[in-house]
Amino acid sequence: MITQFKSGLVPVAALAVITFLYFPLIIIVLYSFNADSVSAFPIQSYSLGWYSVMLQNDSLLAAVKNSITVAIVATTLALIVGLPAAYAMHKYDFLGKKTLERIVLMPITLPGIVTGVAMLSFFPLVGVRLSLTAVTIGHITFLSAIMITQLLARFKQLDPFLEQAGYDLGARPLRVFFVVIIPNVKTAIIGAVLLCLVLSMDEIPVTFFLIARENTLPIEIYGMMRRGITPEVNAISTLVFTVSAIAILLSIRLTEQNQKIPK
Amino acid sequence: MKEVFVKYRLVLPLSLWLLIFLVLPYVFILTQSFLASDNFGQVIYDFNIDSYSKFFTNSLYYTTLLRTLFIAVVVATTCVFLSIPLAYFIAFRVKKYKTILYALIVLPFWMSYIVRAYAWKIILGQNGILNSFMMYVGITEEPLEFLLYSNFSVVICLVHIFTPFVAIPIYTAFEQIPKALVEASKDLGAGSWTTLWKVILPLGLPGIISGGTFALVLTMGDFLTPVLLGGPDTLFISNIVQNLFGTSNDKPMGSAVGILMLILILILLEYSGHMERKYASFKSKSY
Amino acid sequence: MGHILELKSVDKFYGTNHVVKNLNLNVFDGEFLTILGPSGCGKTTTLRMIGGFEIPSHGSIILNDKDITKLPPYKREVNTVFQNYALFPNMTVAQNIAFGLKQKKWDKSRIAKKVDEVLEMVRMEIFKQRKPMELSGGQQQRVAIARAVANDPKILLLDEPLGALDLKLRKEMQSELKTLHNDLKKTFVYVTHDQEEALTMSDRIAVMNAGVVEQISSSEELYYQPKTKFIADFIGEANVIKAKVTTKDKVSIGGQSLELKMDNVISGNEVDLFIRPEHIILNTSSGKIQGKVQEIIFVGTVRKYKIGIDGGITIVATETTLKPSLYTPDQLVYMDWDSDKVSVF
Ligand SMILES: Nc1ncnc2c1ncn2[C@@H]1O[C@H](COP(=O)(O)OP(=O)(O)OP(=O)(O)O)[C@@H](O)[C@H]1O
Ligand SMILES: [Mg+2]
């Protein structure tokens, strides 16, 4: 074969792209240990200084706390609202199902900024003032979309006869749901929850418009960036990367396990 | 059985929630886009289409939209070009480390948006890492200024952020191409380039379209990267919406621009979905 | 033995698709009844209506004189062995089997005893603590049967339970299921599209075609006295010979005249004669019709003759291979048979 790729071309190109994807992340991690306050090449000396600066930045810490609170509350509620709905959407045909499926996808497919300004305009009319509460409501809305798409995908893989076997052996629907369905989609639920936590912790477009005085972490970082470069952002970012990478890898693993259905 | 009621009871909370906190807000800005606002930014219930006519007569609006579209096309194309070799490599060249490599492209997909924008800021800045590196090794004497606060920095950051969104559907599409087809092509005497060009790319086209559309739509909706990394003339249509709801405080106009954005994006999505189906060779999972 | 289950004029529609048509079926207490038919004929649908997973569009289902037509599956005293086993992957073998008993609120020691008992019955005691994923197909099959049987159902429903097994294992499981049926003295309603399986295992067979039960009878009756052309064709190997009615009780096959008792046929009409190859007696001197040997095929225990007659008709006859063949290709032979072995459609 004359026109065979020069054997190295494809791997080299692929490697270059992967490097491009990871280079900025590596930079952040490296420079979080930079002793200097200017992020220049080469790094003269290393220290944990920016981590201790970060730990003294009260508004940053408050933002972390806010983000965690919003993420946990929003994810929990998205799960409570999303799980039964996803199950019903998987199992039944009902009036308006197609419409509901389309609406659920809206927060994922439509640009966040439009959703953000729409909520900003409408929320006060139903008595929700701009605040972390408004932010949480916004998050529940788009997280329930994520939750439902993730869970629906798993329900689709579930052997429909398992449920019928449950009924056949005398268990009522509610029991079947908790004893047969839930244990078999457990990993997907955990995976989806992790994903939602990460996404909520990182959400900007909707949060940006609904926030009042108390910031979430990404909005706080956004503010710090606008004020100039502060290397403690490197430190907090490194932490965010580490935590979200662990969560995501765990989530990927859990979703993969789902696919091993007994023959 | 009372199953009829059970199913409605299960979807009722979600339906109500989405109605109040998603559908009504959209309906509301649609309405608001036909209203007016007074000098204090107060919305007046006076039905008109001024905002829309302003959009099409004031060059600020439509040129910004066109510029945004242009940059979005550049970003999407670049993402596709970067994604193809990556997806090809993982789908056809590796066996053993497939899962790890796949995880490697999925991981940045979920990584903090704001921190990645921040990274490019410290890399491309005037006293940033790239400039100080180039001066250190002697490529340049003076720091290059065009790197940051320019269209360049905006494009590179968006490409970086959206490439995983594009690579994943392309990879999924490539993975669905039966390996036997690729072997058959080579068996019939086609070289790797011909196989790529005549077999893999046509069969992977739905994935490429889907990925490209992702990048296109996401760029059009982005408003942070231009603020953080863009120059004075890098303004996206989303920034106009942001300003109209912020400092300019003209919510009806902002709503109108938002609605037009939405319509444009829905048309794009519909069209690309149509193209995906048209070029689909396999019954594929949704990406 | 009385009826344990009755299906009365049951119809099932999926949308406008009429899948089960006016089905009347009585199941005797303790029998092994098989529903047999080609793919898509409505067997599964019928079984699922008995199990409670589908509700008939019309008609009723009576179990032990109680109308269960609309009762949900968890309130019916029948249990199903699913084709893909549907074992709960998150539970061990023992937990799977205990599942139904727990729903009945049995106490722990009683459940444990019953679990051991049914596991012993299917010879799976040592796999008690395994997860379904760690079992082979045949072993999963046994667990699925044990799980259903443990609940002591009035009727055991089995939908192609051996469909996923390879041929050898299939044969083994067939005889095990038959033994199980004899031991348990329970009513089995069994679905399959494999006629050999149906013929060897069943007390009675209901043959379904396109949503209609065409015949319910014992294996032998079905084989030798098919009521419809479909069944004649579907079960075993048979000659279906085109003939033309000439006068009352006379037909012509490829120009040869033949006497045949028939009801309600009009001369000039075409009819199909049905006869099994093993019922044709070959002869060199006399017989009902004559033909020329075209081909002789040795197939183990029997020898198969393809005999051509005028009009392009080929008839297959078989003979035991215990005796050497008396005929050679191109030889003229007579074919004879007992009149009651022929069916006319
Ligand atoms: N849920 C359903 N919705 C619509 N049509 C259905 C449904 N289930 C079955 N059918 C149709 O009803 C007919 C009978 O199906 P059924 O599953 O009872 O056939 P079967 O005899 O069990 O076939 P097989 O031997 O292939 O299992 C088929 O034409 C099938 O396509
Ligand atoms: Mg079936």
Q: Using an 8 Å CB-CB cutoff, list chain B residues near A177.
A: none
What does each C-alpha distance from C156 to C54, C102, C150 come to in angstroms?
17, 19, 11
Question: DSSP letter string over C124-175?
Answer: -GGGTT--GGGS-HHHHHHHHHHHHHTT--SEEEEESTTTTS-HHHHHHHHH
In short, whether C40's Cβ falls inside 6 Å of ligand 1 is yes
ipTM of the assembly? 0.89
Query: H or E element: which one contains C218?
Result: none
Test A222 with B114 for CB contact under 8 angstroms. yes
Q: How far is CA C340 from the centre of its chain?
A: 24
In short, whether C12's Cβ falls inside 6 Å of ligand 1 is no
Strand intervals (E) in chain A: none
Query: For atom 2 of ligand 1, which residue has the closest CA?
Result: C14
Q: Quick: pLDDT tens for B31-84.
A: 999 998 887 778 888 888 889 999 999 998 999 999 999 999 999 999 999 999
| Total length of chain B | 287
Ligand nearest the Cα atom of residue C35: 1
pLDDT at A37 over 80: no
Q: Which residue has the tokens 């081909």?
A: C295
Q: Decide: C120 and C198 in contact? Cβ < 8 Å.
A: no
Test A31 with B129 for CB contact under 8 angstroms. yes
Ligand nearest the Cα atom of residue C46: 1
- Judged by DSSP in three states, C204 sits in strand
pLDDT at C1: 55
pLDDT at C9 over 90: yes
Other C-beta atoms closer than 10 Å to the C-beta of C173 total: 20
Q: Is the peptide bond before A42 cis (omega within 30 degrees of 0)?
A: yes
Q: Smallest Cα–Cα separation from A155: which of A174, A180, A138, A175?
A: A180
Of the given ranges (B277-286, C81-90, C104-113, C331-340), which has the lowest mean pLDDT?
Answer: B277-286
pLDDT at C130 over 90: yes
Ligand nearest the Cα atom of residue C212: 1
Angle at B117 between CA B111 and CA B123, to 5 degrees: 115
Q: Which residues pair with C34 in a beta bridge?
A: C190, C205
3-state SS string for chain B: CCHHHHHHHHHHHHHHHHHHHHHHHHHHHHHHCCCEECCCCCEECCCCCHHHHHHHHCHHHHHHHHHHHHHHHHHHHHHHHHHHHHHHHHHHHCCCCHHHHHHHHHHHHCCCHHHHHHHHHHHHCCCCHHHHHHHHHCCCCCCCCCCCCCHHHHHHHHHHHHHHHHHHHHHHHHHHCCHHHHHHHHHCCCCHHHHHHHHHHHHHHHHHHHHHHHHHHHHHCCCHHHHHHCCCCCCCHHHHHHHHHCCCCCHHHHHHHHHHHHHHHHHHHHHHHHHHHHHCCCCCCCC
Q: Which residues pair with A145 in a beta bridge?
A: none
Q: Kindly list the partner chains of chain C, i.e. chains with 3 or more CB atom pairs below 8 Å.
A: A
Other C-beta atoms closer than 10 Å to the C-beta of A7 total: 10
Of the given ranges (A5-14, A117-126, B142-151, C125-134), which has the lowest mean pLDDT?
Answer: A5-14
Q: Quick: pLDDT tens for B144-201.
A: 877 888 889 999 999 999 999 999 999 999 988 888 787 777 777 677 777 888 888 8
Of the given ranges (A93-107, B35-49, B241-255, C3-17), which has the lowest mean pLDDT?
Answer: B35-49
Q: Which pair of tokens denotes residue A156?
A: 């689709």
Q: Using an 8 Å CB-CB cutoff, list chain C residues near A261.
A: 89
Test A118 with B110 for CB contact under 8 angstroms. no
Q: Quick: pLDDT tens for A203-235.
A: 999 999 999 989 999 999 998 888 877 788 889
Q: Which amino acid is at B8?
A: Y
Q: Decide: A65 and A236 in contact? Cβ < 8 Å.
A: no
Q: Smallest Cα–Cα separation from B226: which of B274, B157, B139?
A: B157
Across chain B, mean pLDDT equals 87
CA distance C26 to C37: 18
pLDDT at C237 over 70: yes
Q: Mention every residue, 6+ apart, whose C-beta is less than 8 A from residue B279.
A: B202, B205, B206, B209
pLDDT at A262 over 60: no
Q: Quick: pLDDT tens for C148-188.
A: 999 999 999 999 998 878 888 888 889 999 999 999 999 99
Q: Which pair of tokens denotes residue C229?
A: 């052309």
**CA count, 13 A, side-chain hemisphere, A223:** 13
CA distance C165 to C170: 6
Q: Smallest Cα–Cα separation from B252: which of B49, B100, B27?
A: B49
Please identify, by atom number, the ligand 1 atom nearest to the C-alpha of residue C46.
Answer: 18
Across chain C, mean pLDDT equals 90
CA distance C305 to C294: 7
Test B14 with A148 for CB contact under 8 angstroms. yes
Q: Decide: B236 and B264 in contact? Cβ < 8 Å.
A: no
> What value does the mean pLDDT take over residues B111-128?
86
Other C-beta atoms closer than 10 Å to the C-beta of B244 total: 23
In short, whether C193's Cβ falls inside 6 Å of ligand 1 is yes
Q: Mention every residue, 6+ apart, whose C-beta is less than 8 A from residue B185.
A: B194, B195, B198, B199
Burial class (CB in 10 A: 0-12, 13-18, 19+), A92: middle
Query: For atom 29 of ligand 1, which residue has the closest CA?
Result: C40
Q: Which pair of tokens denotes residue A94?
A: 């009902």
pLDDT at A42: 79
Interaxial angle between packed helices B237-245 and A112-122, expressed in degrees from 0 to 180 and rounded to the nearest 10: 10
What does each C-alpha distance from C259 to B105, C266, C311, C321 come to in angstroms?
82, 15, 18, 31
pLDDT at A146 over 80: yes
Q: Smallest Cα–Cα separation from C176: which of C158, C194, C195, C153?
A: C158
What does each C-alpha distance from B200 to B166, B220, C92 come to in angstroms?
16, 29, 45
Q: Which residue has the tokens 């998050």?
A: A139
Burial class (CB in 10 A: 0-12, 13-18, 19+), B93: middle
pLDDT at B254: 94
pLDDT at C300: 83
pLDDT at A256: 65
Other C-beta atoms closer than 10 Å to the C-beta of B251 total: 24
| Total length of chain A | 263
Interaxial angle between packed helices A132-157 and A112-122, expressed in degrees from 0 to 180 and rounded to the nearest 10: 130
Nearest neighbour of C104 by CB, restricted to A159, A170, A263 = A170
**DSSP assignment letter at A41:** S
**Backbone φ, ψ for residue B146 (5° rounding):** -75, -10
Question: Alpha-carbon torsion C137, C143, C149, C151, what sign?
Answer: negative
In short, whether C48's Cβ falls inside 6 Å of ligand 1 is no
CA distance C69 to C188: 19
Q: Decide: A163 and A219 in contact? Cβ < 8 Å.
A: no
CA distance A232 to A51: 7
End-to-end CA distance of chain B: 37
CA distance C132 to A178: 20
Ion ligand 2, residues whose Cβ is below 5 A away: C 44
CA distance B276 to A235: 43
Confidence of residue B141 (pLDDT cuts 50, 70, 90): confident
**Shortest alpha-carbon distance between residue A152 and chain C (Å):** 19
Q: Quick: pLDDT tens for C23-77.
A: 999 999 999 999 999 999 999 999 999 999 999 999 999 999 999 999 999 999 9
Largest CA distance in chain C: 77
